[in-house]
C-alpha cells in the first residue's frame, strides 16, 4: 500500500492523463496526495524561503502568479490541501527527488514520453528522477504532443 503519492505536473497538454492515473492510485491505496510543480523556465523569484515559493503571498511577477494559479486550481480540483501543493524553483529531477525524500513520499507519479534521436541523448525528467528517486516511480507513458 502506498501512503503518500507525489504527482509531478508541468501543465503541458498531457497533464490530464497523468492526473487521472495519480487519482486512481490515490483512491486505490487511500493515500495522501501532494502536488509539485518546478519553476525551471523563469529567473529565480524573490522569496524569503529559499527556492520554495509561498502560494499565499502575491507578487508582481506575472509569470510566477500564472504558475501559482495553475497549481492552486489543480489543488482545489483534487482537494489537495494547500500545504501539500509545492511550487519550487530549480531543476525538475533534483527538486522532485529532494522533495520526495523530505516529505516521506513512497510513490512519485510522472509523465514519460517515448524519445528518439537527440531527445533520447538529452534524457528526460522521468529518467532523471528514476535514477535518484528515494521511492517507487510510476512513469505514465504519454503520447507525442
Ligand atoms: P519531460 O521529460 O520534460 O517531457 O517531462 C516528463 C514529465 O516530468 C512530465 O509529464 C511531468 O510529470 C514531469 N515534469 C517535467 N517538468 C516538470 C516541472 N517543471 N515540474 C514538475 N514536473 C515536471
Pair 1, 29: CB distance under 8 Å:
yes
Q: Report the domain count for the chain.
A: 1
Q: Which residue blocks in 30-82 are alpha helix, DSSP H?
A: 62-77
Ligand 1 center to 101 CA (angstroms) = 18
Backbone angles phi, psi at 123, to 5 degrees: 85, 170
Ligand 1 center to 37 CA (angstroms) = 8
Residues 6+ away with beta carbon under 8 Å from 40: 89, 90, 91, 92
Return the residue whose CA atom lies nearest to atom 19 of ligand 1.
Answer: 38
Q: How far apart are CA 114 and CA 101, in angstroms?
A: 27
Q: pTM above 0.75? A: yes
Q: How far apart are CA 76 and CA 94, in angstroms?
A: 26
Q: What is the pLDDT of residues 16-55, one digit of tens each?
A: 999 999 999 999 999 999 999 999 988 887 776 678 988 8
Q: What is the pLDDT of residues 113-129, one digit of tens each?
A: 877 776 676 678 998 99
Q: List the domain range (segments joined by +) for residue 35.
A: 4-142
> Looking at residue 82, what DSSP letter applies?
G
Q: How far apart are CA 112 and CA 124, in angstroms?
A: 8
Quick check: CB of 126 below 6 Å from ligand 1? yes
CATH label of the domain that carries residue 82: 3.40.50.620
Amino acid at each position: 500500500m502506498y501512503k503518500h503519492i507525489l504527482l509531478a505536473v508541468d501543465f503541458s497538454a498531457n497533464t490530464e492523463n497523468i492526473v487521472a492515473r495519480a487519482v486512481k492510485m490515490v483512491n486505490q491505496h487511500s493515500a495522501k496526495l501532494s502536488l509539485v510543480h518546478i519553476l525551471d523556465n523563469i529567473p529565480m523569484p524573490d522569496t524569503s524561503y529559499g527556492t520554495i515559493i509561498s502560494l499565499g503571498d502575491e507578487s508582481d511577477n506575472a509569470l510566477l502568479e500564472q504558475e501559482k494559479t495553475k497549481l492552486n486550481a489543480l489543488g482545489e480540483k483534487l482537494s489537495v490541501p494547500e500545504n501539500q501543493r509545492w511550487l519550487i524553483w530549480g531543476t525538475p529531477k533534483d527538486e522532485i527527488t529532494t522533495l520526495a525524500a523530505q516529505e516521506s513520499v513512497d510513490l512519485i507519479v510522472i509523465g514519460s514520453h517515448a524519445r528518439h534521436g537527440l531527445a533520447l541523448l538529452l534524457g528526460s525528467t522521468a529518467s532523471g528522477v528514476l535514477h535518484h528517486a528515494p521511492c517507487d516511480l510510476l512513469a505514465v507513458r504519454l503520447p507525442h504532443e
